[in-house]
Amino acid sequence: MRRPSTTQRWSLIGLTVYLVAVLALLLLPVSYGALITAVWRLFTGDAGARFGAGWIEFAANIILFVPMGFLLTLLFRHPWYGTFLAVVLSAVAELAQILIPNRQATLRDVISNSIGAAVGALLAWLFVLRRRRRDDRLGR
């Protein structure tokens, strides 16, 4: 069995910390509607933006899952593994929310989480490719 690289070890540590924070955020019986509404009012009141609060939540879910796709891709050294696992974890988290008061499971959340995971996986893969090219140039 091959020994994990330093990048993989740090990715695993980062992923553990990240998952604990995300699980708390996703599974606590707290409604985040007031927070989303406050952010939406900030944008619509000051900037005059013309979009609904649902788009704020959609964007927040994308941002929330970028680190997951990034870290899983670095850990497994393959962008599809990171993206696929993040999509599965997103679906599981949404299903778990069915049992939690004041929470709603939605397909829209799974879609936005998946987009975020894919963006994170792409960024990590670009990082991996750049590093490989550098190592090839240096003869490592």
Confidence grade of residue 115 (pLDDT, cut at 50, 70, 90): very high
**Contact between 26 and 97 (Cβ < 8 Å):** yes
Q: What's the confidence (pLDDT) of residue 34?
A: 63
Range with lowest mean pLDDT among 34-43, 79-88, 94-103: 34-43
59 contact partners, CB below 8 Å, separation of at least 6: 112
Q: What's the confidence (pLDDT) of residue 71?
A: 92
| C-alpha 136 chain-centroid distance | 31
pLDDT at 48 over 90: no
User: How far is it, in rounded angstroms, from Cα 98 to Cα 25?
Assistant: 15
Tens of pLDDT along 49-98?
566 667 778 888 899 899 999 999 988 888 788 888 888 988 888 888 78
pLDDT at 135 over 60: yes
Structure tokens at 129: 């490719």
8 contact partners, CB below 8 Å, separation of at least 6: 74, 75, 77
Residue 34 exposed, middle or buried by CB count within 10 Å (0-12, 13-18, 19+): exposed
Structure tokens at 114: 């998946």
Range with lowest mean pLDDT among 14-28, 48-62, 94-108, 118-132: 48-62
Q: What's the confidence (pLDDT) of residue 131?
A: 79
pLDDT at 100 over 60: yes
**Contact between 10 and 82 (Cβ < 8 Å):** no
Q: What's the confidence (pLDDT) of residue 19?
A: 85
**Contact between 70 and 124 (Cβ < 8 Å):** yes
